[in-house]
A = this chain, B = another copy of it.
Amino acid sequence: MARIKKVLVANRGEIAIRVMRTCKELGLSTVAVYSEADRSALHTRFADEAYCVGPAASRESYLVADNILDAARKSGADAIHPGYGFLSENAKFVRACEKAGITFIGPPASAMDAMGEKTQARTNMIKAGVPVVPGNAAPFVDVDEAKAYAQKIGFPVMLKAAGGGGGKGMRRIDRMEDLDGAWRTARSEAMSAFGNDAVYMEKFLDQPHHVEIQVFGDTHGNVIHLNERECSAQRRNQKVVEETPSPILTPEMRAAMGEVAVKAAKAVGYVGAGTVEFLVDAKRNFYFLEMNTRLQVEHPVTEWVTGIDLVAWQLHVAQGGVLPMLEPIAPRGHAIEVRVYAEDPSTNFMPSPGTISYVRVPSGPGVRDDSAVYAGYRVPNFYDPMLSKLSVWAPTRMEAILKMRRALDEYVLTGITTNLRYLKQIVLHPEFVKGDYDTGFLPREHKTLLGEEDKALARVSMIAAAMRAHQRAEKQQATIATAQKPGGSSHSAWRSAGRRTGSWKKGA
């Protein structure tokens, strides 16, 4: 395979930056694509080259394969890294890249086909002898079929997008009455996220653990696994905190799940970075959930404990290289990642786009920040509200938890509402600290996690608020004083200032 020299990253925000960082280390030129809403985004400025691919809506820009390929041609890029989301699991796009003679950094289209459509993937896995969660074999034709199926397997059920994962187009349904609404929003969300509104249903396992295995394949038929990630801390069916090693896994379970994951990947001729997701029930049985045929958001924790740069491996494998190691690697120490979102946990995680007035990210020993924010950046309201992936490493899990607390305390990001405090509440919650938390953890403990007011801090805050009000008044006063001086300002300014002074005098 030809040597890659210039990489177009068909994504935005922090993952685009993440991928470009490795490209730059390897001496590869980088090309960004950006929507009209992302002209000021950091990834647009971070790359060596940047091309606009359409209006703000992703369906008209980041999801338009032709526009991406146009930018690749214009820039002379010889490879495309899709990041995650957008076109990363779109087999048609992979074929279009092939046709255009551009290396797609990811699995072959055939592996995507086999895993991408979630109901088909389940069928393939059953064939390969991999245990799967009970559910239906093909997307529903209409809501009535979904209702009938739900009736059959019994509530609670999960309605899921057949076209892709990542929590998009996914709804838990507890009662028949809620099915209509969930059907509507899940399909519309699925369409906007994957360009495919097909949905299917799975039996909702009662508070399982979500544990996934990182796998890696090369074009020479080698597939290995790089241990697990525990991803059970989820809100709105989306991961918020991930860690490795999983506190519930024994070495035997790790070996068994790793073996199954490798089997699954091999069954579809997998090449590159992929993740096999499992649900683990209370009895520690594990079931195949889906395979994400791309780099995962939470890949940094795996990088921390293995010392591997997964993006560098992706590039290596995409150029026909043999995997740098062929045996499983024992994890070293412990890593935790949290996803910092522009959202308000107290209003059901409502997104909170807006302008960041100030940011200072934590650093120092064992802290990594993958973000694409800067002071003055306006977080657009068209895309995923993730601001940063903050990850830490320490020799032991408890030390990693304490380091994460420190890092979260240190994170200053103002101007918009974030979930920083909520994240801190999660990692310090006794259930998390104990290490045995399932996917029901965050919803169940929601109220506790919002956190009680620290009375002492609230008291100091009130003093600060009064001081601030006073400072403002002083400043106003100073302006007035200047205005009243001869030569200070114009007559009309003086007049309005005079009015204000009068009132203040009365108030004082």
Q: How far, in whole Å, are A403 and B309 apart by their CA atoms in the complex?
A: 11
Flag if A406 contacts B21 (CB, 8 Å).
Answer: yes
Q: Is there a chain B Cβ closer than 8 Å to A17's Cβ? A: yes
Asked, given contacts A360-B374, A375-B375, A490-B490, whether A303 binds B25 with beta carbons under 8 Å apart, the answer is no
Flag if A370 contacts B374 (CB, 8 Å).
Answer: no
A27 / chain B contacts, CB cutoff of 8 Å: 402
A363 / chain B contacts, CB cutoff of 8 Å: 361, 363, 368-371
Smallest beta-carbon distance A432→chain B, Å: 17
Q: How far, in whole Å, are A330 and B361 apart by their CA atoms in the complex?
A: 32
Q: How far, in whole Å, are A369 and B405 apart by their CA atoms in the complex?
A: 18
Specify the chain B residue showing the minimal Cβ separation from A393: B307
Asked, given contacts A395-B307, A399-B25, A406-B24, whether A367 binds B365 with beta carbons under 8 Å apart, the answer is no
Within 8 A of B (CB), among A11-57: 17-18, 21-22, 24-27
Give which listed residue, B26, B307, B374, B410, contacts A402 with CB less than 8 A: B26
A174 / chain B contacts, CB cutoff of 8 Å: none
Asked, given contacts A309-B365, A364-B18, whether A25 binds B406 with beta carbons under 8 Å apart, the answer is yes
Q: Is there a chain B Cβ closer than 8 Å to A300's Cβ? A: yes
A360 / chain B contacts, CB cutoff of 8 Å: 374
Flag if B333 contacts A365 (CB, 8 Å).
Answer: no
Flag if A402 contacts B365 (CB, 8 Å).
Answer: no
Q: Is there a chain B Cβ closer than 8 Å to A474's Cβ? A: no
> Chain A interface residue count: which class?
35 or more
Flag if B22 contacts A365 (CB, 8 Å).
Answer: yes
Flag if B370 contacts A25 (CB, 8 Å).
Answer: no
A206 / chain B contacts, CB cutoff of 8 Å: none
Interface centre among A24, A303, A308, A405 (most CB of B within 10 A): A24
Q: How far, in whole Å, are A294 and B118 apart by their CA atoms in the complex?
A: 59
Main secondary structure of the interface of A (DSSP, over half): mixed
Q: How far, in whole Å, are A375 and B358 apart by their CA atoms in the complex?
A: 9
Q: How far, in whole Å, are A369 and B365 apart by their CA atoms in the complex?
A: 8
Q: Is there a chain B Cβ closer than 8 Å to A332's Cβ? A: yes
Q: How far, in whole Å, are A364 and B365 apart by their CA atoms in the complex?
A: 13
Q: Is there a chain B Cβ closer than 8 Å to A66's Cβ? A: no
Q: How far, in whole Å, are A314 and B38 apart by their CA atoms in the complex?
A: 47
Interface centre among A26, A361, A403, A406 (most CB of B within 10 A): A406
Interface string of A394-409 (1 = CB under 8 A from B): 1100010011011001
Q: How far, in whole Å, are A333 and B304 apart by their CA atoms in the complex?
A: 13
Q: How far, in whole Å, are A496 and B453 apart by their CA atoms in the complex?
A: 56
Specify the chain B residue showing the minimal Cβ separation from A324: B395
Within 8 A of B (CB), among A420-453: none
Flag if A368 contacts B370 (CB, 8 Å).
Answer: no
Specify the chain B residue showing the minimal Cβ separation from A17: B364
Flag if B364 contacts A361 (CB, 8 Å).
Answer: no
Q: How far, in whole Å, are A406 and B21 apart by their CA atoms in the complex?
A: 7
Smallest beta-carbon distance A394→chain B, Å: 8
Flag if B25 contacts A403 (CB, 8 Å).
Answer: yes
Flag if B490 contacts A365 (CB, 8 Å).
Answer: no
Within 8 A of B (CB), among A133-160: none
Interface centre among A24, A363, A370 (most CB of B within 10 A): A363
Interface string of A335-348 (1 = CB under 8 A from B): 00000000000000
Flag if B364 contacts A367 (CB, 8 Å).
Answer: no
Smallest beta-carbon distance A401→chain B, Å: 10
Within 8 A of B (CB), among A442-493: 490
Interface string of A361-401 (1 = CB under 8 A from B): 10111111111001100000000000000000011000100
Closest 10 CB pairs of A and B: A363-B369, A21-B364, A24-B406, A25-B406, A25-B402, A490-B490, A25-B403, A303-B365, A307-B395, A309-B365
A-B contacts, 30 of them at CB < 8 A, read A17-B364, A18-B364, A18-B365, A21-B364, A21-B406, A21-B410, A22-B365, A24-B405, A24-B406, A24-B409, A25-B399, A25-B402, A25-B406, A26-B402, A27-B402, A300-B365, A303-B365, A307-B332, A307-B333, A309-B365, A309-B366, A309-B394, A332-B332, A360-B374, A361-B361, A361-B363, A363-B369, A363-B370, A367-B368, A375-B375
